[in-house]
Structure 1
């Protein structure tokens, strides 16, 4: 079911067992805006059915936060103006050329163009796969875009993030709510999960320039300012300890600088920053 943040903002919580990210709904006096369309036709349908139970203005816009399949594969089901940044648009072009029969899906998985989880979700939650073709976005922006839903402003901005280069965030100033998609997360390259250390501080600065009190993340749902600050602190403290591809040296440096050992989150982040050094050296 939809969770209510305020009279004008709702979210459909993430479901890790189905690889479903958080989806958002922002309502103005005239129109509503959806944030991400879900990982499949069925995910989008489930979301729309929940929206139908609300007395809200018609959905006019949909913003896709980045070009990862679990955030956009439901877009065909939603009758709205699709908004993406220019890099997301380029990345989606590949998906618009895909065919979704079993033979093609197995080829994409074999070529590492698609995960096996993505294939399984498509097979089980995208009907009419033989004729399925991903829609094209309607509005393509470069850096920032402002949408007025009727006494409800949404600021849409592309940022360089540790998760993807095409990350888009959505800020609602009067509510001090920001939808981050997956941008604060790391990524996987050559089977190694890593955090792009060079992008960490610029990303945090880009997010913190917005006066936000509630943060919606793709796979954690909602965090308040205190929880988000702890997350940033653990990330930055871990990053400062890593100056090479040596995990042993990074942990020793962390202990020296902080007069304690890393907690579980910090150790996870330290390993991810070490992996970033390994990726950069390959």
Structure 2
């Protein structure tokens, strides 16, 4: 069921048990825009069925926020102009060359090109997959693009991110709503979940320049401004306490600097920033 944020903005909540991220819908007087395509054709069909039950203008545009499979594998289901930034397009090229038969999928898991969960969902939710080939995007924008849906502007912008280098956000100025995709999350490398400390403040700067009151996230659905400010504060405090590859030292530093122990979220972030220090030390 679609959640209604305003008369022109809706979203389909994330389903973590199915690895389904939040999908967004912005409606103008003439056209509608979709944010992210879903993790499979079935996910996309479920979303489109919900849209069909609304009295909204036709979907003209589809924006992919970044090239992680759970955000784009449903794109073939949309009869829309697909929009990506250049790096997302580059990363999607590999997926356009993949085959989706059982043998190929097994090889991709073994070579770590796809996760086992991704392959399971492909098998269950993409019918006739042996002939499946991902479509190509239609518009590749540089840095920023503004779309007019008919008395409803949407600003697309590629931002710096702790999650991927190809993160695109969608901002709706008159509603003060911003779709962040997964941009504010950490990422995993060498089996270590980490937050890129060097990217944290630049990312926050890129996002906070937009006057937003509501934030749509890929795997939490929606946050208001107070919740987002708390999120930023916890991330910053955890980052400031972490200058070492030792978790114990980072926790001790946090406790000394803040006259308290870290809460559950802050401890999670501290561990992720420590992992970032470990990964950076391995590159040195």
TM-score by structure 2 length?
0.99
Residue by residue over 1:102-125, the C-alpha shift from the partner in whole angstroms, topping out at 9 and shown as x without a partner, is 110010010011000000000000
State the distance in 1 between where 2:154 and 2:246 align. 43
Residue 231 of structure 1, CA deviation: 0.5
Residue 142 of structure 1, CA deviation: 1.4
State the distance in 1 between where 2:200 and 2:19 align. 25
Residue 160 of structure 1, CA deviation: 1.5
- RMSD between aligned residues: 0.4
TM-score by structure 1 length?
1.00
State the distance in 2 between where 1:279 and 1:80 align. 40
Number of matched pairs: 282
Residue by residue over 1:33-88, the C-alpha shift from the partner in whole angstroms, topping out at 9 and shown as x without a partner, is 00000000000000000000000001000000000000000000000000000000
Partner of 2:166: 166
Residue 3 of structure 1, CA deviation: 0.3
**3-state SS of 2:211 partner:** coil
State the distance in 1 between where 2:117 and 2:224 align. 31
State the distance in 2 between where 1:218 and 1:211 align. 20
> Which segments of 5 or more consecutive residues in structure 1 lack a partner in the other structure?
none
Partner of 1:205: 205
**What does 1:1-282 correspond to in 2, within 5 Å?**
1-282=1-282
**3-state SS of 2:234 partner:** helix
Residue 244 of structure 1, CA deviation: 1.4
State the distance in 2 between where 1:69 and 1:278 align. 27
State the distance in 2 between where 1:161 and 1:137 align. 22
**3-state SS of 1:180 partner:** strand
